[in-house]
């Protein structure tokens, strides 16, 4: 078998045969030329469509009024919880220094840092009954035997001493 001789010049004269020159429409084969994509099958051009508006960009963060509402809700719930835990929303609790002789006291603090509150003597939480109140002036600050001593001081000086007994003692 023999190989045909190459054309003059060593390469084909205008590129490979069967290639459509640049800028000319490509026809898939013999037959009628299809209508352009913008034409309708009935010979009328499609109506121009208005450009669609772009969707707004996604929001980043929260609306300021939502943030303020959440903060108010958290603060309100915190206030309600505090009121329920400290005083049940009723009258203000009276502390030990406001107690009168004969009233009962509840111990809510620790041994090293006692905190006394006045409560009803019929309440089972009553820990002490105030028997005697000693002032810092003209008193040696000592309670009778069998009584518990509670002192309050300011600036290192004892300002008040309470002598306490069990709540059922008279």
> What is the pTM assigned to this prediction?
0.43
Number of folded domains in the chain? 2
The token pair at 12 is: 């084909």
- For residues 158 and 100, membership in a common domain is answered with yes
Give the neighbor-by-neighbor strand order of the sheet with 128-135: 116-119, 104-107, 128-135, 157-165, 148-154
- For residues 86 and 111, membership in a common domain is answered with no
- For residues 107 and 142, membership in a common domain is answered with yes
Per-residue pLDDT of 116-150, as tens digits, reads: 888 888 888 888 898 888 876 556 668 888 888 88
Higher model confidence: residue 162 or residue 36?
A: 162
pLDDT value at residue 24: 65
Per-residue pLDDT of 67-98, as tens digits, reads: 899 999 999 998 888 877 776 545 567 777 78
The token pair at 160 is: 């008040």
pLDDT value at residue 19: 64
- 19 φψ region: left (φ > 0), alpha (ψ -120 to 50), beta (else): beta
- For residues 102 and 156, membership in a common domain is answered with yes
Domain membership of residue 146 as a residue range: 96-165
């Amino acid at each position: 078998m023999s190989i045909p001789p190459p054309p003059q010049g060593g390469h084909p004269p205008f590129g490979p045969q069967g290639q459509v020159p640049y800028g000319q429409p490509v026809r898939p084969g013999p037959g009628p030329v299809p209508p352009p994509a913008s034409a309708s099958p009935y010979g009328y051009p499609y109506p121009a469509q208005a450009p669609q508006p772009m969707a707004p960009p996604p929001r980043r963060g929260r609306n300021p009024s939502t943030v303020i509402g959440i903060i108010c809700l958290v603060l309100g719930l915190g206030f309600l919880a505090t009121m329920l835990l400290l005083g049940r929303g009723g009258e203000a609790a009276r502390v030990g220094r406001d107690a009168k002789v004969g009233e009962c006291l509840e111990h809510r603090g620790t041994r090293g840092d006692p905190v006394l509150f006045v409560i009803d003597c019929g309440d089972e939480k009553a820990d002490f009954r105030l028997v005697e109140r000693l002032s810092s002036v003209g008193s040696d600050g000592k309670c009778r035997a069998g009584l518990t001593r509670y002192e309050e001081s300011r600036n290192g000086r004892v300002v008040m001493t309470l002598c306490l007994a069990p709540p059922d003692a008279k």
